[in-house]
Amino acid sequence: MLLFVNSVADILFLLFIATLFSIYLAAITDTMARRLGLSRGFGLLIALLLTFVMVGAVSLLIVPPVVIQFQELIGSLPGYVAAWEVELARLAQENQLLGRILTPISEGEGYLDNVFEQVSGFFGGIAPYVFSGMGVAIHAVSVLIMGIYLALKPGVYREGLIAVTPPAYRELARDILADLGHTLRAWLVGQGLAMVVLGSLTWLGLRLLDVPYSMAFGVFTGLAVIVPFFGTIVSTFLPAVFAISTGGIAKAFLVILLGVVVHLFEANVVAPMIFEKQIQLPPVLTILSVLVMAKLLGLVGLLVAVPVLASVMVITRRIYVHRILEGKGFHRIEEDAPVVISLPTGDGVLVHPSAAELSVPSLLER
């Protein structure tokens, strides 16, 4: 079974992406059904139309200038590399310690050649997904179709998983699936808002500092947020490197300071407002999840590192911690001996505030 799972890891990854997409569609569909009284199918259709309109509008407003800036950035990159090589050679000659740290180069080679080789090797894992157009199209259509089916009738697949669970544990399985859906939905909403906030603030700040390609770097910062810590580091220092060529060390320092302030604002002001307590993940575990997923699935695994960690923590908390470590156990329930809970009637009865949302086993675990 482990060998089989390893051989189809990429397909399982697509299924997880489709599940995230279905949770996003289901959030909009449920809102339409609850507030407007629409059927689930019609609400899902509206959710898809709104998604396509939003993506199209953002593409028309942002994609053209970003593409132009990225093209200009790529075209001017050789000039920046040559300037960096000259500066590194000068610093290596003036500073003996730095000269020893930098790898000696032979004729026709540069100090940055080794760096480019390492970067190209690191990003090689994503090359098949970028350049194999047919494979990307098939995967994208598969994710789209699976996400639509999962969002249209989520109960079929949820009850199917519960049906293969032993009867004594089905209530727990139902609660865990509900907890997973709530957690992943909160992560999707928070991640989307964080990407918009960070990208917008970075773009405005770089524009005020007169850094070239500010919109391209702003979009890159918003996209890099999906990879915790590592994306923050890269999105902070990359525009600073380009600022050195136009404004020197002082402007580069201001760009780094801008990145630090923007990310601190997002982490301490924005994130507490949009993320819920149950998806506040420990930083060390988050870093480890990113490294593990990068090891297992390459760069593509970085996209799902955080939601996978959130799902694992929910399952670990509900099963391993509550049921095993805390001694609640997995007692079988006899069908001929149902559990009866009697409560007095009247206005003096205290009701748990989450009683309408959670089942009795879930309330007892909390």
Domain boundaries, the chain: 7-152
Interval 192-207 mean pLDDT: 87
| DSSP assignments along 23-53, one per residue | HHHHHHHHHHHHHH---HHHHHHHHHHHHHH
* Average pLDDT taken over every residue of the chain: 75
What does the block give as tokens for 4? 């089989």
Least confident of 25-29, 69-73, 281-285: 69-73
268 pLDDT band, cuts 50/70/90, is confident
From 21-30, 66-75, 98-107, 136-145, the region with the lowest mean pLDDT: 98-107
Over residues 340-353, the mean pLDDT reads 60
CB 29 within 8 A of CB 151: yes
Please tell me which residue, 189 or 98, carries the higher pLDDT value: 189
Average pLDDT over residues 113-117: 53
Give the DSSP per-residue string, 315-347. Answer: HIIIIIIIIIITS---PPPPTTS--------ST
Q: Which residue do the tokens 């970075």 mark? A: 202
- Sorted by sequence, the CB contacts under 8 Å of residue 91 that are 6+ apart come out as 98
pLDDT at 131: 47
Q: Residues 322, 169: contact at Cβ < 8 Å? A: no
Predicted pLDDT of residue 112: 54
Type of residue found at 352: H
pLDDT at 333: 44
Q: What is the pLDDT of residues 232-249, one digit of tens each?
A: 888 888 888 777 766 677
Write out pLDDT tens, residues 298-320: 767 777 888 888 888 888 888 88
Using a pLDDT cut of 90, give the percent of the chain over it: 0
The residue with greater pLDDT, 2 or 149, is 149
More confident residue, 176 or 344: 176
Least confident of 35-44, 284-293, 327-336: 327-336
| Dist CA 366 CA 356 (whole Å) | 15
Does the reported pTM lie above 0.75?
no
Q: What is the pLDDT of residue 337?
A: 46
pLDDT band at residue 130 using 50, 70 and 90 as cut-offs: very low
- CA torsion 127-110-75-257 (nearest 10°) is 90
